[in-house]
Structure 1
Amino acid sequence: MPYLIIDGQPLHYIDQGTGPAVLLAGSYLWDQNMWAPQISALSQQYRVIALDLWGHGQSGSLPSTTTSLDDIARQALALLDHLQVERATLVGLSVGGMWGARLALLAPQRINGLVMMGTYVGVEPEPTRQYYFSLLQQIEEGGSITPPLLDIIVPIFFRPGIDPQSALYQDFYAKLAALPADRLRESIVPMGRITFGRDDLLSRLGELDAASTLIICGEQDTPRPPHEALEMAELIGCPYLLVPEAGHISNLENPAFVTAALLTFLAQRN
Structure 2
Amino acid sequence: MPFVTIDGRPLHYIDQGTGPAVLLAGSYLWDQAMWAPQIAALSQQYRVIALDLWGHGESGALPAGTTSLDDVARQALALLDHLDIDRATLVGLSVGGMWGVRLALSEPQRLNGLVLMDTYVGVEPEPTRQYYFSLFKMIEETGVIAPQLLDIVVPIFFRPGIDPQSALYQDFRAKLAALPPERLRESIVPMGRITFGRDDLLPRLGELDAATTLVICGDQDKPRPPSEAREMAQLIGCPCVLVPEAGHISNLENPGFVTEALLKFLARKR
TM-score scaled by length of structure 2: 1.00
The aligned residue for residue 252 of structure 1 is 252
The aligned residue for residue 190 of structure 1 is 190
The aligned residue for residue 74 of structure 1 is 74
The aligned residue for residue 18 of structure 1 is 18
The aligned residue for residue 267 of structure 2 is 267
- In structure 1, C-alpha distance between the alignment counterparts of 2:160 and 2:130, rounded to whole Å: 23
Deviation at 1:161, TM superposition (A): 1.7
Pair 1:55-2:41 in alignment: no
Pair 1:122-2:125 in alignment: no
Pair 1:208-2:208 in alignment: yes
- In structure 2, C-alpha distance between the alignment counterparts of 1:69 and 1:269, rounded to whole Å: 27
Letter aligned with residue 4 of structure 2: L
Letter aligned with residue 199 of structure 2: D
Deviation at 1:102, TM superposition (A): 0.5
Deviation sequence 1:31-84 (CA, Å, 0-9, x none):
000000000000000000000000000000000110000000000000000100
- SS of 1:247's equivalent? coil
Deviation at 1:254, TM superposition (A): 0.1
Gaps of 5+ in 1: none
- In structure 2, C-alpha distance between the alignment counterparts of 1:179 and 1:38, rounded to whole Å: 26
- In structure 1, C-alpha distance between the alignment counterparts of 2:20 and 2:161, rounded to whole Å: 38
Q: How does 1:96-245 map to 2 (within 5 A)?
A: 96-245=96-245
- In structure 1, C-alpha distance between the alignment counterparts of 2:239 and 2:162, rounded to whole Å: 28
Deviation at 1:202, TM superposition (A): 0.4
- In structure 2, C-alpha distance between the alignment counterparts of 1:203 and 1:69, rounded to whole Å: 17
Deviation at 1:93, TM superposition (A): 0.2
Alignment length (residue pairs): 270
Moved over 6 A (4+): none
Deviation at 1:220, TM superposition (A): 0.1
The aligned residue for residue 94 of structure 2 is 94
- SS of 2:246's equivalent? coil
- In structure 2, C-alpha distance between the alignment counterparts of 1:50 and 1:161, rounded to whole Å: 29
Deviation at 1:137, TM superposition (A): 0.5
- In structure 2, C-alpha distance between the alignment counterparts of 1:202 and 1:5, rounded to whole Å: 32
- In structure 1, C-alpha distance between the alignment counterparts of 2:213 and 2:181, rounded to whole Å: 39
- SS of 1:214's equivalent? strand
Deviation sequence 1:177-235 (CA, Å, 0-9, x none):
00000000000000000000000000110000000000000000000000000000000
- In structure 1, C-alpha distance between the alignment counterparts of 2:65 and 2:261, rounded to whole Å: 36
- In structure 2, C-alpha distance between the alignment counterparts of 1:73 and 1:269, rounded to whole Å: 23
Deviation at 1:140, TM superposition (A): 0.4
- Taking every aligned residue pair, what percent have the same amino acid on both sides? 83
